[in-house]
Structure formats: structure tokens, C-alpha cells
Amino acid sequence: MSLFITDECINCDVCEPECPNGAITQGEEIYEIDHALCTECVGHFDEPQCVEVCPVDCIPKDPNHEETEGELMGKYELLVAATG
């Protein structure tokens, strides 16, 4: 699954720079995660970095974008190939 940011977000700006895939951007009201770019940090880190730094715990898994560990790794590999 990719992750998403709930409306509990306080716009503290700590998650965006932690995302190695550039999946987090400022939306109209709160930060948003692009599910096409989110790999839950698979391939980069053991844990999602945005979740690790979020002070209000507002970044759960997105049930609308379920992905296996293998699918997340495949997405990571495609993203790395596209930028490398």
C-alpha cells in the first residue's frame, strides 16, 4: 500500500524533505502523497521516513492503494531507473 496523509496534518513541513521519492507535496490545505511515487520507503529504508518524523501520527496506509512488498519494490526499481 502507499501511504496517505489525513486531515489531522498540521502542515509542520517535516515529512516532505524526508521522502526519498518526492511523493509528498503541499496540497491546498494539507500535505499530500502521490500514490504513484510512494513505495513506503521500500528500497530506501526499513520504515517509511514520513511516518517516523510525523509528530501527529497522521500518515496511515492507504486502503485504496494496496500493494505487496514485491509490488512496492518493483515501483522503487522503476523510479530509480527513471532517475538514474
Query: What local confidence, expressed as pLDDT, does residue 83 receive?
Result: 77
Q: What tens digit of pLDDT does each residue of 34-51 get? A: 999 999 999 999 999 999
Please tell me the CATH code under which domain 16-83 is placed. 3.30.70.20
Cα-based distances in Å from 58 to 31, 65, 74, 80, 82: 11, 17, 26, 27, 30
The DSSP secondary-structure symbol of 24 reads: E
Mean pLDDT of the chain: 95
Domain ranges of the chain: 16-83
Query: What local confidence, expressed as pLDDT, does residue 9 receive?
Result: 98
Q: What is the pTM of this model?
A: 0.92
Query: What local confidence, expressed as pLDDT, does residue 1 receive?
Result: 74
